Every structure is written in C-alpha cells, then in structure tokens.
Amino acid sequence: MAHSIELIFDEVTNTIIGEQWRKLADAGLPSQGSIRSTSNRPHVTLIAADSIDATADMELSAIRGVAGMTVNIGALLLFWGRRGTAARLVVPSDHLLDIHAQVFDATCPHIGGRPLAHVSPGSWTPHITLARRLVEGHLGHLMRALSEGPEMFTAQVAGLRRWNGDTREEFQLV
C-alpha cells in the first residue's frame, strides 16, 4: 500500500466534505465516507510513494505555515482511467504550492522507490477525494447527488500527517 504525507482539515471542513460523502452513499454511489477507519478523513495528498520512512517526520515537523493556513475548495473534478475518481479541487495558491514543494523536497530522501508521478511539483493537482471506482453510469447520479451544497468555500488546514498504508496508521506531524 502507498504511504503519503497529507494536509488534514478542521472539523468544519471535515463536516462539509463528510456531508458530500454521505450524499453520495445515500445515492447508492461509491463514497470515501464508506471507508470504516478512525483515520479516514478528508485530506490532500502532498506526496505518495511505496514507502516513506519515519525519519522524514522531524524534517516535516519543522515546516512552518501549515496549521491554520486557509485554502479555497472549488469545483468538482473527475479523474478518469479504467475507473473514475470524483474530487473537489483545492485551488492552488502560491502558499499551498510552496508548502507542497517543501514537503516534496523534505520527503524524497526518505522514500522507498520514487514518488508517484502525479504528486511531483508541476504535475500535482491538489484535491480532496469524494469517490473512487466510478463508472460512466454513475456520472449523472453523482452530479445530482452533489447539486446542493457549497460551490466554493474556504477551508482551514489543521495540520500535516504521515500515512502508513501498510499498517494503516497515521502520524500527526504539525
């Protein structure tokens, strides 16, 4: 399983995104909210790799300007491959892109293998995942389920965590 470094949000943001997860589940669609884990919460993946060693934690904990920063949550995004992923765009700001670059640079010496291609600076699309494993027949239902609710809102970042996908553990860094 992949390991990652992620931004996590305050309770207000968790509630807004959690409501969107619930709407998808109520419509019989795939939803990130159906993941039963105490660590499942809305987040933005900054870097992901096959493994990230805990030796990165001290360097990551020194990054300033993460907790309390605000980001704008924008439009619905669809990423499509064999199956689709629905997400909300996290509008890139200079500050967010700077934090991403700092986390990427601090983490790379501590990863096993290479970072996943879509998280490299210049290739990264910051987002909060709403649903995975979508098929074409889901799209109209998805749009209807999410038609009510905020089109755009400001979210507050609560901190930074390291996720270990092998052990399914999270480690609060900032």
Q: How many domains does the chain have?
A: 1
Domain that holds residue 54: 3-163
Residue 147: inside a domain: yes
How many other CB atoms sit within 10 Å of the CB of residue 14?
17
**What pLDDT does 37 receive?**
66
Residue 169: inside a domain: no
Residue 168: inside a domain: no
Residue 98: inside a domain: yes
pLDDT in tens, 28-72: 999 988 777 666 899 999 999 999 999 999 999 999 999 999 999
Residue 174: inside a domain: no
How crowded is the C-beta side of 33, counted as CA atoms within 13 Å? Answer: 17
Residue 173: inside a domain: no
pLDDT in tens, 136-156: 899 999 999 999 888 899 999
Long-range contacts: 119-125, Cβ < 8 Å, 24+? Answer: 119/45, 119/46, 119/47, 119/48, 121/97, 124/46, 124/100, 125/77, 125/79, 125/89
Rounded-to-integer distance, Cα 153 and Cα 157, Å: 13
Residues 6+ apart with CB under 8 A from 148: none
Of 77-86, 95-104, 123-132, minimum mean pLDDT range: 77-86
Q: Span 11-32, mean pLDDT?
A: 95
Q: For residue 128, is pLDDT > 90?
A: yes
Phi, psi for residue 87 in degrees, rounded to 5: -150, 165
Q: Span 127-136, mean pLDDT?
A: 95
Residue 118 tokens, joined: 């879509």
Residue 172: inside a domain: no
CATH code at 19?
Answer: 3.90.1140.10
Residue 111: inside a domain: yes
